């Protein structure tokens, strides 16, 4: 016990502390009537008082020496701390957890209550502890913004809901609040960011322009709201916050003997009276502009703490689990599941079918859990990339995507897996490694660029680590650096390490090599988990269901009759038959006068062929136009410009090219998979042409002798009848036409038809092209062969 004189002395510092607290509130700007200069002066006075109170407390509150002697335990006395809590058995520091809630922009009426409810449900299971758990508020633009106008749409947040949400956050103290801005936080969303303990932004993200949507409306209520939030959290300097709100204000950055400060132009004169200003102030917000800063600029100004590239990067800097900053799409409800299977080579048809089924299920059942079960050694890199970009583009706040790898996901199939939110691997499964189909160097470089610019940033993965699963030239090392609490460990290439050092401003120490150049990264489940490529490792698929609290079987997309019909028509086994029948019907049509059933039937066969290929994603309008152009060229050769063969040959090439291109997504194969697809396309078209030839032979040889169908075919004369016709044609003498004038009824190039009196005679020119309707003169006649020249030359 303390002596009697200690008790009153203990109350005196409490009173002084209360007075100090009141003075501290005034000096730091809690009083709205104090300007910047008065607050600076009060702060100096406050520091002197604080030192005096501390000295007073040390001298007068320390217990006498005899009291210390009485209270000190003896050497052999039991200590107050239990023995099991000492030494190596002492409890470790509690690990803090992270949670994420997304804030959609613009913040409109009712959004504040919805976000507040989501926050309460999210942090309720965490409880309270020291160090505090982390709540990350991620700002994003709502998806109903028009393309190209996201920034204008995002800055239209309403002041009332934004202020109510900011006031709630400023009073929430049991978690550490982090404002994470990956793209935009403009308009009155600035208030919400100010209410957090820290602001973290992507380097090129934007914050500010708080009053741009209400230009000219800066009433005392709005200005007071920004003052209130500033007083509670002081995340953004008040002068900068007001400069974001009011375009009539000018904000200066001032260097003083006490450090850097930010002052409004209207307060600069008073500020100079109380502080020693070094150099000339620098205007960071000019008159007529709303203050707006990138993440890099905000960090230089001191109100942005870190520049994360992704959620995972942010989690690393906050020393949280890499998968902790994920929004729960189920929001406490049951999962609405969808199981998608990717088995065998990934083709364009498989990618199109998979994307179509996911779109249909999302639209009809509002699916919020998609499991992609992958058993593939790779396939077409372009198709895998298209499917991966689709999965990466799904809203992670609405749909949780999980890739399950039972045995392997090699080469480009690994891209599809890593485009999902989570990757779950079965023990013994492989990720990456030697592909089933060799990938060309140009294709590898294209994929590497795509991974670095879109796929890896979308999922917060290290781009070099993802690209190393395909690119054998990339080397991967273990890198580390000291964080705020623990050592941070990452895995990437030296090239990405240099990029990270330039962005973070902190060096990374290179460690052991994970992968040398020469072969793609081939990771088993354990290594993939270590490299954070895999989220979980399980023994079977049932364990995955347990992991995500799924009791029922996952729902697989059911194919309807239309989908099955499209797949059947596009299959090579039926596609070649469509082409054979189409070509055969075209042959019949060309050998019969007028337009008949054969022409209609041929058109329907080719229409069905292109329609099926169009719906499976391999054909586009280019192939259709190429086919139509080819048919027109062939008809022009037969009916309009006979003789040269250029249009006929060119048209045939266009038709065959269109049919080949319609069954593949590339023009010329660049890798082994595309080469196999190209062979299949050639086989389909080749079988179609062979089928057409077979039909033509049957029509000329077999069909005329058939008992029932022989009468529908007109056969040419044979035997004596044919000889008689040849003899009569041989003795035809058209010499009487020499010197007569006629008119061309068709173009002559060099053959055509001319009218002499009332007779139509087949003629040939003497070498020049003669247009239709031109006058001609017969200059030679050899039997039934008449040579003409233009009358103009006669």
Confidence of residue 441 (pLDDT cuts 50, 70, 90): confident
Confidence of residue 591 (pLDDT cuts 50, 70, 90): low
Question: CA–CA separation, 13 vs 34, rounded Å?
Answer: 27
The per-residue pLDDT for 438 is 80
The per-residue pLDDT for 632 is 86
Task: Please compute the mean of the pLDDT values over residues 700-724 and round it to a whole number.
Answer: 62
Sort 280 into a burial class: Cβ within 10 Å, 0-12 / 13-18 / 19+.
exposed
Q: Residue 315: in which H helix or E strand, if any?
A: helix 311-317
Give the range among 47-51, 216-220, 352-356, 635-639 with minimum mean pLDDT. 47-51
SS (H, E, C) 713-724: CCCCCCCHHHHH
The per-residue pLDDT for 595 is 63
Question: Which residues are 164's β-sheet partners?
Answer: none
For 483, phi then psi, to 5°, come to -95, -165
C-alpha distances in angstroms, 269 versus 36, 263, 266, 272, 276? 10, 10, 7, 5, 12
Higher-pLDDT residue of 590 and 496 is 496
**Which range is most confident: 315-324, 386-395, 568-577, 703-712?**
386-395
pLDDT at 146 over 50: yes
- Say which residues have a Cβ less than 8 Å from residue 706's Cβ, sequence separation at least 6: none
Give the range among 330-339, 377-386, 426-435, 522-531 with minimum mean pLDDT. 330-339
Confidence of residue 404 (pLDDT cuts 50, 70, 90): very high
**And the tokens for 470?**
């395909």
Q: Is 355 helix (H, G, I), strand (E, B) or coil?
A: helix
Between strands 476-482 and 536-538, the pairing is unpaired
**And the tokens for 661?**
């291109």
Share of the chain above pLDDT 70, in %: 79
How many CB atoms within 10 Å of residue 135? 24
Closest to 676 in 3D by CA, of 344, 342, 347: 347
Average pLDDT, the chain: 79
pLDDT at 136 over 90: yes
C-alpha distances in angstroms, 123 versus 176, 232, 549? 11, 21, 20
Share of the chain above pLDDT 90, in %: 30
The per-residue pLDDT for 82 is 36
- Give me the residue label for tokens 């048209």: 651
Higher-pLDDT residue of 524 and 702 is 524
Question: CA–CA separation, 499 vs 481, rounded Å?
Answer: 15
pLDDT at 14 over 70: no
Sort 558 into a burial class: Cβ within 10 Å, 0-12 / 13-18 / 19+.
exposed
How many CB atoms within 10 Å of residue 132? 16
- Cβ–Cβ < 8 Å for 341, 556: yes
**Which range is most confident: 116-130, 411-425, 562-576?**
411-425
Give the range among 244-248, 596-600, 632-636 with minimum mean pLDDT. 596-600
pTM score, whole prediction: 0.57
Question: CA–CA separation, 637 vs 635, rounded Å?
Answer: 5
The per-residue pLDDT for 463 is 92
Closest to 190 in 3D by CA, of 276, 91, 283, 290: 290
- Cβ–Cβ < 8 Å for 538, 427: yes
Between strands 741-744 and 751-756, the pairing is antiparallel
Task: Please compute the mean of the pLDDT values over residues 477-502 and round it to a whole number.
Answer: 85
Sort 87 into a burial class: Cβ within 10 Å, 0-12 / 13-18 / 19+.
exposed
- Say which residues have a Cβ less than 8 Å from residue 499's Cβ, sequence separation at least 6: none
- Cβ–Cβ < 8 Å for 299, 270: no
Give 209-268 pLDDT, tens digit per residue: 998 887 657 788 888 999 999 998 889 999 999 999 999 999 999 998 888 999 999 988
Question: CA–CA separation, 683 vs 698, rounded Å?
Answer: 22
Give 449-469 pLDDT, tens digit per residue: 999 988 888 888 899 999 999
The per-residue pLDDT for 28 is 40
The per-residue pLDDT for 713 is 55
**476-478-483 Cα angle (round to 5):** 135
C-alpha distances in angstroms, 663 versus 343, 345, 346, 604, 683? 21, 16, 15, 18, 11
Question: CA–CA separation, 687 vs 757, rounded Å?
Answer: 50
Going by the DSSP 8-state scheme, the letter that residue 131 receives in this structure is S
C-alpha distances in angstroms, 381 versus 97, 386, 619, 670, 721? 38, 9, 18, 10, 64
- Cβ–Cβ < 8 Å for 154, 105: yes
- Cβ–Cβ < 8 Å for 754, 742: yes
The per-residue pLDDT for 259 is 86
C-alpha distances in angstroms, 260 versus 243, 253, 292, 491? 17, 7, 19, 37
Question: CA–CA separation, 131 vs 94, rounded Å?
Answer: 7
Closest to 775 in 3D by CA, of 749, 736, 740, 734: 740
Task: Please compute the mean of the pLDDT values over residues 22-36 and round it to a whole number.
Answer: 40
Terminal Cα distance for the chain, rounded: 141
Please provide the DSSP assignment of 632-690 as one string: HHHHIIIIISTTS-HHHHHHHHHHHHHHHHTT-S-SS--SHHHHHHHHHHHHHHHHHHH
Confidence of residue 188 (pLDDT cuts 50, 70, 90): very high
Higher-pLDDT residue of 327 and 241 is 241
Q: Is 341 helix (H, G, I), strand (E, B) or coil?
A: strand
Higher-pLDDT residue of 486 and 586 is 586
């Amino acid at each position: 016990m303390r002596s009697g004189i200690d008790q009153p002395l203990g109350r005196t510092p409490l009173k002084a502390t209360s007075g100090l607290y009141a003075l501290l509130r005034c000096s730091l700007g809690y009083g709205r009537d104090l300007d910047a200069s008065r607050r600076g002066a009060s702060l100096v006075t406050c520091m002197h008082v604080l030192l005096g109170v501390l000295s007073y407390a040390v001298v007068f509150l320390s217990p006498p020496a005899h009291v210390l002697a009485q209270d000190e335990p003896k050497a052999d006395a039991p200590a107050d701390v239990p023995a099991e809590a000492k030494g190596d058995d002492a409890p470790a520091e509690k690990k803090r957890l992270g949670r994420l809630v997304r804030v959609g922009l613009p913040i409109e009426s009712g959004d504040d209550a919805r976000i507040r409810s989501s926050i309460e449900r999210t942090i309720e299971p965490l409880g309270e502890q020291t160090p505090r758990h982390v709540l990350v508020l991620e700002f994003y633009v709502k998806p109903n913004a028009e393309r190209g106008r996201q920034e204008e749409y995002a800055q239209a947040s309403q002041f009332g809901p934004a202020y109510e949400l900011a006031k709630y956050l400023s009073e929430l103290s049991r978690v550490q609040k982090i404002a994470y801005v990956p793209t935009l936080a403009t308009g009155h969303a600035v208030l919400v960011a100010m209410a957090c303990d820290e602001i973290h932004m992507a380097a090129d993200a934007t914050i500010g322009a708080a009053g741009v949507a209400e230009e000219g409306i800066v009433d005392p209520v709005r200005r007071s709201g920004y003052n209130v939030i500033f007083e509670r959290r002081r995340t953004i300097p008040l002068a900068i916050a007001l400069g974001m709100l009011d375009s009539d204000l000018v904000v200066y950055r001032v260097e003083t003997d006490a450090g850097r400060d930010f002052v409004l132009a209207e307060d600069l004169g008073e500020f100079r009276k109380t502080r020693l200003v070094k150099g000339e102030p620098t205007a960071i917000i000019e008159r007529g502009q709303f203050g707006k800063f990138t993440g890099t600029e905000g960090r230089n100004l001191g109100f942005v703490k870190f520049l994360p590239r992704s959620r995972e990067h942010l989690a690393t800097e906050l020393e949280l689990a890499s998968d902790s900053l994920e929004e729960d799409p189920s929001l406490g409800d049951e999962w609405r599941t969808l199981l998608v299977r990717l088995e065998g080579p990934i083709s364009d048809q498989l990618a199109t079918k998979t994307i179509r089924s996911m779109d249909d299920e999302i639209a009809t059942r509002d699916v919020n859990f998609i499991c992609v079960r992958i058993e593939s050694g790779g396939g077409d890199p372009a198709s895998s990339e298209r499917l991966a970009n689709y999965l990466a583009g799904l809203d992670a706040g609405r749909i949780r995507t999980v890739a399950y790898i039972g045995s392997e996901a090699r080469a480009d199939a690994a891209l599809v897996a890593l485009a999902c939110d989570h990757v779950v691997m079965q023990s013994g499964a492989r990720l990456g490694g030697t592909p089933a189909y060799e990938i060309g160097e140009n294709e590898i470089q294209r994929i590497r660029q795509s991974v670095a610019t879109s796929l890896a940033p979308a999922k917060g993965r290290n781009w070099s680590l993802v690209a190393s699963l395909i690119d054998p030239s990339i080397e991967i090392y273990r890198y580390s650096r000291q964080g705020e609490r623990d050592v941070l460990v990452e895995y990437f290439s030296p090239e990405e390490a240099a990029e990270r050092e330039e962005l973070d401003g902190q060096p990374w120490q290179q460690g052991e090599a994970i992968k040398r150049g020469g072969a793609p990264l081939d990771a088993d489940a354990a290594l993939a988990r270590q490299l954070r490529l895999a989220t979980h490792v399980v023994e079977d698929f049932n364990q995955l269901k347990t992991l995500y609290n799924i009791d029922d079987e996952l729902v697989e997309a059911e194919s309807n009759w239309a989908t099955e019909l499209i797949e059947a028509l596009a299959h090579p086994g039926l596609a070649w038959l469509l082409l054979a029948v189409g070509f055969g019907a075209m042959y019949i049509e060309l050998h019969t006068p007028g337009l008949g059933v054969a022409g209609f039937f041929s058109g329907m066969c080719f229409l069905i062929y292109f329609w099926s290929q169009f719906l499976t994603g391999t054909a586009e309008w280019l192939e259709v136009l190429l086919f139509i152009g080819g048919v027109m060229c062939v008809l022009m050769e037969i009916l309009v410009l006979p003789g040269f063969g250029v249009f006929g040959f060119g048209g045939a090439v266009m038709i065959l090219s269109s049919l080949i291109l319609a069954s593949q997504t590339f023009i010329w194969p660049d890798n082994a998979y595309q080469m196999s697809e190209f062979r299949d396309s050639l086989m389909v078209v080749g079988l179609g042409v062979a089928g057409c030839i077979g039909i033509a032979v049957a029509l000329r040889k077999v069909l005329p002798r058939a008992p029932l169908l022989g009468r529908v075919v007109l056969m040419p004369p044979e035997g004596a009848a044919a000889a008689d016709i040849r003899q009569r044609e041989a003795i035809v003498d058209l010499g009487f036409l020499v010197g007569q004038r006629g008119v061309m009824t068709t173009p002559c190039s060099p053959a055509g038809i001319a009218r002499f009196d009332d007779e139509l005679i087949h003629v040939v020119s003497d070498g020049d092209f003669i247009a239709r309707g031109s006058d001609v003169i017969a200059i030679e006649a050899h039997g039934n062969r008449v040579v003409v020249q233009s009358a103009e030359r006669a």
